[in-house]
Copies of this chain bind each other. A is one copy, B any other.
Amino acid sequence: MTEESATAEPGRTVELLWGAKESPGRTGLNLAGIVAAAIEVADAEGLPALSMRRVAERLGFTTMSLYRHVPGKAELIELMRDAVVGELDLSAPDHSDSGDVDWRTGMEAWARAHWTLHLRHPWLVHTAGSRRLPGPNIMADYERALQIAEGTGLRASEVVAVVSLVAGFVKTAAQQVHEVRHEERESGVSNAQWWRGQEELVERMGPYPALGRLWHAGAFDEPEDPFDFGLARTLDGVELLVARRHRAENRDEIRDVTAPQPHPGQCSVCGAEFAGPRRGRPRDYCSRACQQRAYRQRRSATSASAGAAASDSSAGNAL
């Protein structure tokens, strides 16, 4: 998986990524052509099949000729990443209405755009996304995501974390789907067929009661769409945080002012709206059940993470 990065001067690669002049009239090899050919190979045959040889052959040149234009394979992949991110449409920033409208629809659109990108270029999930030298397209895309996430009104560090979370989710979902697809292709057995074939196994060697129950309930016959399901949960989770923050803010304001108003509330656990008491302290939860849930949640949040988990930071990757 390559893994090695630019051994030479970093200035060279930044020039490749950002300079991008490359007089277009030339006849022979050029950077754009190499990158395009590499993307074609990777799209068609996967990252492991991507080699300098294959790219050079496709272009009708010798292997080593590529090295006149690209420092090495790692940099080539970096260039490929930036190139495909350039396919994304960054338009529809916040065109109309109010300024910070609806971070959620924006975030969802961003996620879905990346999702289709991953479907088009399966090899993306196997690339590292180095913090070093993010190309211009990647930077623009990251900026876009941050702008959207800023609409949540969360703290700066949380905004960044939200973008990482959503980007990470998309990547994982793509990974999972491609895994299944890859195995289907390789074995010629569709996933459904495979699970059906496992029926005997599941039933016979069944010290797996839960798996058995779920299997019999059809969980694997009519599965949830992993992307839609996961994205909804993830954004719900973010939205809940946002709602809690807003509530906390508004609470202060309202309390300072003359309070008695029939407080319509929004449950800080399930988000449902409910009619609060007309006087007295406004309720936080729509039901005893949600109150209990919140308690458990609070309790579990106190447990420190066992792992060392270097506190050094970890801003890292968007795409």
Contact = CB atoms under 8 A, between A and B. Distances in A.
Interface of A: 1-3, 5, 46-48, 102, 104-105, 108, 112, 115-116, 119, 126, 128-132, 139, 142-143, 146-147, 150, 155-162, 164-165, 168-169, 171-173, 175-177, 179-181, 183-184, 186-187, 190-192, 194-196, 207-211, 213-214, 216-230, 232-241, 243-244, 246-247, 257-258, 260, 267, 269-275, 279-280, 286-287, 289-290, 293, 296-297, 299-301, 303-317
29 contacts: A1-B47, A1-B126, A104-B296, A119-B307, A130-B183, A131-B179, A131-B191, A131-B194, A143-B211, A146-B210, A158-B224, A164-B226, A165-B226, A168-B169, A168-B173, A177-B316, A180-B313, A180-B315, A184-B312, A218-B305, A219-B315, A220-B313, A235-B237, A236-B297, A239-B269, A240-B269, A243-B270, A244-B272, A247-B287
Given A128-B179, A210-B150, A232 B221 contact: no
A150 B223 contact: no
A196 B147 CA distance: 21
A229 B134 CA distance: 25
A165 B229 contact: yes
A contact face: mostly helix, strand, loop, or mixed: helix
A280 B277 CA distance: 9
A128 B47 CA distance: 14
Nearest to A275: B260
A240 B236 CA distance: 7
B192 A312 contact: yes
A159 B219 contact: yes
A244 B179 CA distance: 32
A306 B109 CA distance: 10
Contact of A272 (B128, B172, B247, B303): B247
A312 to B, nearest CB: 6
Residue from A47, A142, A147, A224 with most neighbouring chain B CB atoms (10 Å): A224
Given A139-B208, A164-B176, A222-B307, 9 more contacts: A102-B296, A104-B300, A132-B183, A156-B213, A157-B219, A190-B313, A228-B305, A247-B287, A258-B273
Contacts of A222: 157, 307-308, 310-311, 313
A102 B297 CA distance: 10
Contacts of A190: 312-313
A150 B213 contact: yes
Nearest to A225: B309
Contact of A241 (B228, B236, B246, B316): B236
Contacts of A183: 130-132
Contacts of A217: 155-156, 304, 307
Nearest to A132: B183
Contact of A239 (B139, B172, B293): B293
